[in-house]
Structure formats: C-alpha cells, structure tokens
Amino acid sequence: MSTIYPEVKVAPPGPNAQAIIDLDRRYSSPSYIKEYPLVMDHGEGPWVYDVDGNRFLDFMAGIAVASTGHAHPQVVRAIQEAAGRFLHICGTDFYYDSFAQLCARLASYLPEMGPKKVFLTNSGTEAVEGALKLARHHTRRQYVVAFKGGFHGRSYGAISLNSSKVAQRAFFGPLLPGVIHIPYASASSETAYNPARLLEQDWFVSHVDPREVAAIFVEPILGEGGYIVPPTSFLQNLRELCDKHGILLIFDEVQSGIGRTGKMFAAEHFGVMPDILLSAKGIASGMPLGAIIARERVMTWPRGSHGSTYGGNPLCCAAALATLDVVEGLLENVRATGEHLQQGLRALQARHPILADVRGVGLMVGGEFLHPKTQEPASTYVGDLEQLAFQKGLLLLSCGKSTIRFAPPLVVGKHEVDVMLRILGECLSVLDEKHQTRAEA
C-alpha cells in the first residue's frame, strides 16, 4: 500500500454493509447507539475499510481505544505469539510472565505516586467498580464524591457515579447510595471555582462530614462529558482536600490515559498525583483490559476478596505490553500532531462561528458547537456533522451536549490531520448553509 494516502472516496453504506446492518438490527440489543452505518472490514493505521471497499479516515479510534492504530503489526504479532502458547489460565489464581510483566510496567509509571500495586480487569467499568470497593474497604467509609458530566461505565457502581447522560441512570434505580455529585470545572474557566471549598463549606457542612468520605472519583480531563480540560488549580484543590481529610483521590484515566494527551497519563500535565489511577481503552489497542493502579499502602484488599476469571488474560497482557512499547515511542508525535490539529481547528473556527470552542491536550481535542446567536448547544448541527462527515469518508464522534471529540489513533500524522481538516471544512460549509449559521460577511 502507498504511504501517500489518496483522498478518501466513499459511497456508504454499500450492499454488503446493508445486509449486515439489517441482520444486526434484527437481532442485537436495541440499547446500542451505532451512530452511522459503518461496517468495518479491516483497518490499517488511522484508516478503516468497510465491507464494500470504502475507505475512511478514523478520528474516533473506536472511542479513543485504537491507540496504536488499526492492526499495528507489533501488537498483532504479540497477540499471535501469546495465542500460540495458551489462551487462558486465570491471573487471579495462577502465575504467568506477561501478567507479572504488565503489572510491573504499569507500576513503573508516575514515580511520584511512590510504590504501587496493580489489579488487572477486563474493562474500564470493572476498574471503576473495583476501585469503589477498594476505597470503601481501605477507608472503612461509605460516601463517594463524583462530578456532574462524569462518565465511569455501565455497572451499578459506575452508573451511580455517572452523571453525563440521563438515559444511563434513569431506568435502573435504586442506584448505589452515598454518592454525592458536584459540578466539574467549566470549559471556558480559569475561574475561581474550587470544588474543595464547595465540599468543605457548603456540601459537607450541611450534608456529610468529610471524614465519612471514602473517595473522590474524577476524570482529570472530562471525556464523555465534553472533552473539558480543567485548570490545574481544580485538581490541586481536590488533592489538598483529600490530604486534609484522609479521602482517596481517584483519577479515572480510562479515556485520558496511555499517551492520548502526549504523556502516558494526563495526571503528568497537572503535576497532581492520585492515590488510585484507573486505566483501560487504549491500554491494549482494543483488547479488553483495564487496570487499577494504586499506591501500595492503599491496595489493602485481603487475600481472596477481589478477583477476576479473565482480567489480565494472557492475550490482553501481551497486547498491552506491545501497545505500551509502541505508545511510548509516539508521545512526541501526539504532542506535535495535536498542536497542528488545534491550530487547524482554530483556523476553521475563524470562518465558522458555530465552532465556539477548541480545546484539549495532545490528541484528546474537543470542538464545541454553539449557536452563534444564542450560545445554546448546537446538538442537531453536531448530529448532522457526524453523518455528513461519514458520507465524506471521515469518522467522527460526539460527546457532551454538542462537542465533537477528535481522538484519532496516536499514529496519525500531520498529513492525515490536514485531510481531516479539509473534509471537516467542507462539511461545515454545507451545514452552515443548511442551518443558516454562516459567518456574517
């Protein structure tokens, strides 16, 4: 295959895709969203081919998961080699090399956290769920604090922490008691909002004693809630509050971790260290794996109290070790390409006022769309944009109320960013016409 990518040219969904979509719609759960009719056949780097031979540029990476790009040869080889040895033995009960190596490798990041121990899971949700149990066990306290707009997964514990979308919680109560939700930092703010002050002076004084709070769960960069980068003071204030009252600070880095921001973990950008860090998504290039990485003094589970049949499966561990090797070599690319991406988006913003805000770190970039006159979320516009971009060969995904997340595989280069910006610019021109949101001449 040529390394100079020709323009994407597509006419989806074709007949092969349509047949699979029909079968899927007939038999798969109606809870799935499936934003647009992409039926993937195979991928290479940041490119995706569907079952009719259409080619798409991928700027959503399977929801910020395909960190090394699609079918990275080093990762594929590692999985194949591991599969040829054994598929399963159960890391809760037995020893194997890749499990031990991966725990050691993950414990080596963020040296400022001090010595660590690692628990391997199958998903981000399970990492969250385990951390909830660990926090309650370690502190012997019952309350937890989470943030409005936060997303932590789909299990009962996780949806009790969530507050990004009503549908994820509304039908399933009663949820876990003892969860307190407070506002996250706002997208535009370097403001004086101090969540610690809110908790200490208002909430805690009137509702709960800080000495009864086990943990604060926070995404150091808000993901599903809209790709919001908080000011450093926001996380520093939380750290101070936790230190003062013996509360555990838990960073959910399921989306922001493993190189996505140009550092291995977003925590490094802020210089604020958590007591427990949760990882998943990009950690194994899409193989199901998550991790609870905790300070050694905090990982105090009694023997046999928490485990997992598949968590840290040998194929996933092999994929993760190869992924970490690749991602460590991509951090410089993530920073440079991310900068290029934000510059390009700002140039588009100057021509399309509906693109109200461009923000992010590395290749975790959000573009928020607000109606220019009312500053209300332009959610219909964003829905149309996802569909139109797809028709033009670009895979995008929204988050928050009206934000497009730009979260491509970390192997993406400036050339692909330019292709993406050109397609996006074409889409914005079409949609500005349709929605009458053109810049005033």
For the chain, give percent helix, strand, coil, nearest 5: 40, 20, 40
Give buried/exposed letters for 14-49 (b at 16+ CB in 10 A, else e). beebeeeeeeeeeeeeeeeeeeebbbbeebebbbbe
Contact criterion met (CB below 8 Å) for 327 and 258: yes
- 161 φ/ψ angles, rounded to the nearest 5 degrees: -85, -25
- Indicate the residue among 151 and 204 with the shorter CB distance to ligand PMP: 151
As measured in angstroms, the least distance from the Cβ of 364 to ligand PMP is: 11
As measured in angstroms, the least distance from the Cβ of 234 to ligand PMP is: 16
- Indicate the residue among 17 and 146 with the shorter CB distance to ligand PMP: 146
- Give the DSSP H/E element, type plus range, for residue 325: helix 314-328
Dihedral sign of CA atoms 93, 95, 96, 97 in order = positive
- Indicate the residue among 125 and 139 with the shorter CB distance to ligand PMP: 125
Q: Which residue of the chain is nearest ligand PMP when measured via CB? A: 124
**Angle of CA points 98, 335, 63, to nearest 5°:** 60
Helix, strand or coil, per DSSP, at residue 51: coil
- Indicate the residue among 152 and 239 with the shorter CB distance to ligand PMP: 152
- Indicate the residue among 254 and 299 with the shorter CB distance to ligand PMP: 254
- Indicate the residue among 16 and 168 with the shorter CB distance to ligand PMP: 168
Tokens at 75, concatenated: 């990762």
- 127 φ/ψ angles, rounded to the nearest 5 degrees: -65, -40
As measured in angstroms, the least distance from the Cβ of 162 to ligand PMP is: 9
- Indicate the residue among 219 and 432 with the shorter CB distance to ligand PMP: 219
As measured in angstroms, the least distance from the Cβ of 51 to ligand PMP is: 25
Closest among 425, 426, 385 to 403, alpha carbons compared = 385
As measured in angstroms, the least distance from the Cβ of 247 to ligand PMP is: 20
As measured in angstroms, the least distance from the Cβ of 121 to ligand PMP is: 9
As measured in angstroms, the least distance from the Cβ of 224 to ligand PMP is: 5
As measured in angstroms, the least distance from the Cβ of 64 to ligand PMP is: 7
Contact criterion met (CB below 8 Å) for 416 and 57: yes
**Residues found in the chain:** 441
As measured in angstroms, the least distance from the Cβ of 151 to ligand PMP is: 5
- Indicate the residue among 60 and 427 with the shorter CB distance to ligand PMP: 60
What are all long-range contacts of 29-36, with beta carbons under 8 Å and residues at least 24 apart? Answer: 35/386, 35/397, 35/398, 36/386, 36/387, 36/390
- Indicate the residue among 51 and 276 with the shorter CB distance to ligand PMP: 276
Helix, strand or coil, per DSSP, at residue 119: strand
- Indicate the residue among 139 and 255 with the shorter CB distance to ligand PMP: 255
End-to-end CA separation in angstroms for the chain: 44
As measured in angstroms, the least distance from the Cβ of 62 to ligand PMP is: 11
Sort strands 364-369 and 355-361 into parallel, antiparallel or unpaired.
Answer: antiparallel
Contact criterion met (CB below 8 Å) for 94 and 276: no
Residues contributing to the site for ligand PMP (CB under 6 A): 63, 123-125, 128, 151-153, 219, 223-224, 252, 254-255, 280
Provide the residue type at 123 as one letter. Answer: S
